[in-house]
Amino acid sequence: MSINSAMLAGVSGLVANSSALAAISDNIANVNTVAYKRNQVNFANVVTAQAVKGKYAAGGVQSVTRQFVSQQGLIQASGSTTDLAISGDGFFVVAGKGLGLTPADARSFTRSGSFGVDSDGFLVNDANLYLQGWPIQADGSFAVNPSDLNAMRSINVKNLGAAVAPTTELGVSANVNKGTTVSSGLAGYNAATNSMALYSSSNGATGTKPDFVIEMNVVDSAGGSRKVAMAMLKDTAANTWRAEIYAVPATDIVPNGTDPAGQLATGNVVFNADGTINMTATSNALKSLNLGASTAATGARWAPGLGLAAQSLDIDLTKLSQYASTSTVNSISTDGAGVGNVIAIEVDESGIVSAIYDNSQIRKIAKIGIATFPNANALRAVSGNAYRPTIPAGEMVVKEPGVGGAGAISPSSLEASTVDLSAEFTGLIATQKAYSASSKIITTADQMLEELINIKR
């Protein structure tokens, strides 16, 4: 009966517009939710077979929910270095826990990058979802796997320990006075038996007094500060200086063979006529030092009681000069750093998470992966503004940020919600009117049925 079908069509209109109202309500409620993707309810008519020619039976309407997961939200600057946004396609891989993560634990995907550090040191967002990444390997690389989520781990930025950077390079900028008078001590100088290292270590009782000494600080493998000195004695040969490098105090090292206490290297420093250093004629032994570990049996090495690892030092003497001016040290540069503790966390655009230490060292921790899907709009939404894979969404691939179509990471940024309030309020008004109109269909059909029943009276 057409009146009955009209009433049922009105009911379907109420149901469909109720779904539309629910979607609009969700959108409005999440207008400030980070990286929220708006939903929309579309309508499709339902056509029923017409059994009798000349009569029409209403089919009504059905609601179809559409997700706009792939829609890009506005990237906004944030004050936190652990806030992350994805500019482009893809999702962060997250898990429900940080410790004890197993292959059986479900992974989700989200664009909500409001991450912070929890009490255990893990990066976790506002929905308590833990950010996953590829941990750094011993050789400094990352074992990137595009399909195995088990290769990723919850990123921890606290349990890292202190950072130490032993000195490997020293740079010396200094001038030695060209007008220095050749010392009377030169006649008795012998690097093996009457060295400048002996003079330094015994406070002048033995050895040869140098004309000029350059002291340099060195960070050892344990983060301790050691000192080495380069002593120089003017030679009778033009533009030539005898030089020795030794440890201060001498007890920090065991010298090579029968070398004097503390001595590490000997040789000549030769200058050109214009006062610049002649690196070719200058002894190579003064440019590179090799200190063996405390446990080494031969060669110059750290003292056994120090328990230090082997260390190589390259000394840059290119800024050493000889001018007719007072001998002076202009600057000493070094790449070493003592013991440092984590003071900040940063993430770069390639997804590398690094810890910054108070000794200016930077240590890489992990690399964030970006998961992509052929049809992201078909993902299944779950609580926490996250999604789970579905068959219509297609095969998931985890890529490095900015590679192979994956979006780049925007550090210290957040993606805004894609909800447009003006559009939602307009839709709210239209949905309200459509709901009222559907209710009028039911009222009118009821009145017609009542008239039909009254015919018998």
Look at residue 162 in the predicted model and tell me its pLDDT. 72
Residue 236 binned pLDDT confidence (cut-offs 50, 70, 90): very high
Residues 201 and 331 in one domain: yes
Residues 202 and 308 in one domain: yes
Look at residue 2 in the predicted model and tell me its pLDDT. 78
The tens digit of pLDDT for each residue in 237-284 reads 999 999 999 999 999 999 998 899 999 999 999 999 999 999 999 999
Q: Which of 400, 414, 427, 396 is nearest to 106 (CA)?
A: 396
Residues 259 and 324 in one domain: yes
Residues 260 and 405 in one domain: no
Residues 114 and 138 in one domain: yes
* Top-confidence range, 55-69, 199-213, 377-391, 438-452: 377-391
Look at residue 91 in the predicted model and tell me its pLDDT. 96
Residues 409 and 434 in one domain: no
Judged by average pLDDT, the poorest of 150-154, 336-340, 439-443, 447-451 is: 336-340
Look at residue 205 in the predicted model and tell me its pLDDT. 66
Q: Which of 119, 71, 66, 115 is nearest to 92 (CA)?
A: 115
Residues 241 and 331 in one domain: yes
Amino acid at residue number 421:
L
Q: What number of CA atoms fall less than 13 Å from residue 328's CA on the CB side?
A: 6
Which burial class, exposed, middle or buried, applies to 149 when counting CB atoms under 10 A from its CB (0-12, 13-18, 19+)? Answer: middle
Q: Which two tokens stand for residue 95?
A: 């898990």
CA distance linking residue 350 with residue 262, whole number of Å:
47
The tens digit of pLDDT for each residue in 164-210 reads 888 999 999 999 999 999 998 898 899 998 999 988 776 656 889 99
Residues 189 and 327 in one domain: yes
Look at residue 138 in the predicted model and tell me its pLDDT. 86
**What integer is the mean pLDDT of 407-436?**
92
The tens digit of pLDDT for each residue in 337-370 reads 877 778 888 999 999 999 888 877 888 999 999 9
Q: Domain count for the chain, please give it.
A: 3
The domain boundary residue, chosen from 317, 339, 361: 339
**What integer is the mean pLDDT of 23-35?**
92
User: Would you say 213 and 221 are in contact if contact means Cβ atoms under 8 Å apart?
Assistant: no
Q: What are phi and psi of 16, to 5 degrees?
A: -65, -45
- In this predicted structure, the answer to whether residue 53 has a pLDDT above a threshold of 90 is no
Average pLDDT, rounded, for the chain: 90
- In this predicted structure, the answer to whether residue 94 has a pLDDT above a threshold of 90 is yes
Look at residue 11 in the predicted model and tell me its pLDDT. 87
**What integer is the mean pLDDT of 315-342?**
90
- In this predicted structure, the answer to whether residue 421 has a pLDDT above a threshold of 70 is yes
Within 10 A of 338 (CB to CB), how many other CB atoms are there? 19
**What integer is the mean pLDDT of 326-340?**
88
Residues 170 and 285 in one domain: yes
Share of the chain above pLDDT 90, in %: 63
Judged by average pLDDT, the poorest of 71-75, 116-120, 200-204, 228-232 is: 200-204
Better-predicted residue by pLDDT, 50 or 264: 264
Look at residue 301 in the predicted model and tell me its pLDDT. 93
In sequence order, the β-bridge partners of residue 63 are 43
Residues 235 and 275 in one domain: yes
Residues 208 and 247 in one domain: yes
Residues 329 and 234 in one domain: yes
- In this predicted structure, the answer to whether residue 1 has a pLDDT above a threshold of 60 is no
Amino acid at residue number 96:
G
The domain boundary residue, chosen from 313, 339, 365: 339
- In this predicted structure, the answer to whether residue 233 has a pLDDT above a threshold of 90 is yes
Judged by average pLDDT, the poorest of 153-162, 214-223, 239-248, 367-376 is: 153-162
Look at residue 51 in the predicted model and tell me its pLDDT. 65
Range of the domain at 360: 75-160+346-415
Q: Which two tokens stand for residue 31?
A: 């207008």
Residue 429 binned pLDDT confidence (cut-offs 50, 70, 90): very high
The domain boundary residue, chosen from 288, 317, 339: 339
Look at residue 451 in the predicted model and tell me its pLDDT. 84
Look at residue 72 in the predicted model and tell me its pLDDT. 92
- In this predicted structure, the answer to whether residue 150 has a pLDDT above a threshold of 60 is yes
CA distance linking residue 64 with residue 43, whole number of Å:
6
Look at residue 457 in the predicted model and tell me its pLDDT. 63
Q: Are strands 413-415 and 130-135 parallel, antiparallel or unpaired?
A: unpaired
Amino acid at residue number 49:
A
Look at residue 46 in the predicted model and tell me its pLDDT. 84
